[in-house]
Amino acid sequence: MVGGVVSYVIVRVTSKINDPMIEITLSTIAAYGSFAAAESLHGSGVIATVVAGLVLGTAGRTSAFSAEARTAADAFWQYVAFGLNSVVFLLIGFEALPVRLLSHASVVAIAFVTVVAARFVVVLASAAYCTKRKSEFRFARWCSWRGAACAARYRWCSRSRCPRSFLTGSF
């Protein structure tokens, strides 16, 4: 609810502005502001941020953002996603012990090939589906976030002994 309210206010303000930098700044404020507001109300900041992103990325995108701002915001948020994804994998890499990885090299190689092949199939199938329906193809960006989320979830679960079904649901 908090994310919806914050994004509604941002959409109303943004619809009156025609400056891409201010519009991107407001979308950033929506992301962080909804998180902070929800946390201060003892709610889920993550859910509020997701709701704000969904509202701004769908209805708010077409009704409030100018064409120039949409192009600039796409580039900005793609860069943010790339940067955060990189940080997640770097932090995980810093904790991986090379000796342990080398001792399980065959398992790691099989897992790597399996994951790459599965993603290849999913992306190709989604691209074919979107091409057939003549809809816009934005699956690749979602896929990269999904990878970081899975890796972070696995790292967290390996420490806290999560149920196996939780890890299976990650993929």
Residue 34 three-state SS: helix
Average pLDDT over residues 27-42: 90
Q: What is the pTM of this model?
A: 0.56
For the segment 144-170, the average pLDDT, to the nearest whole number, is: 49
Query: Count of domains in the chain?
Result: 1
Lowest mean pLDDT among 52-56, 122-126, 157-161: 157-161
What domain range includes position 53?
1-79
For 51, other C-beta atoms within 10 Å of its C-beta total 20
Q: What value does the mean pLDDT of the chain take? A: 78
Quick one: DSSP state of residue 43?
S
Let me know if residue 36 belongs to a domain: yes
Q: Would 155 be classed as within a structural domain?
A: no
Residue 59 belongs to some domain of the structure: yes
Q: In the structure, what pLDDT confidence band is assigned to residue 151 with cuts at 50, 70 and 90?
A: low
Residue 141, pLDDT score: 41
pLDDT at 40: 92
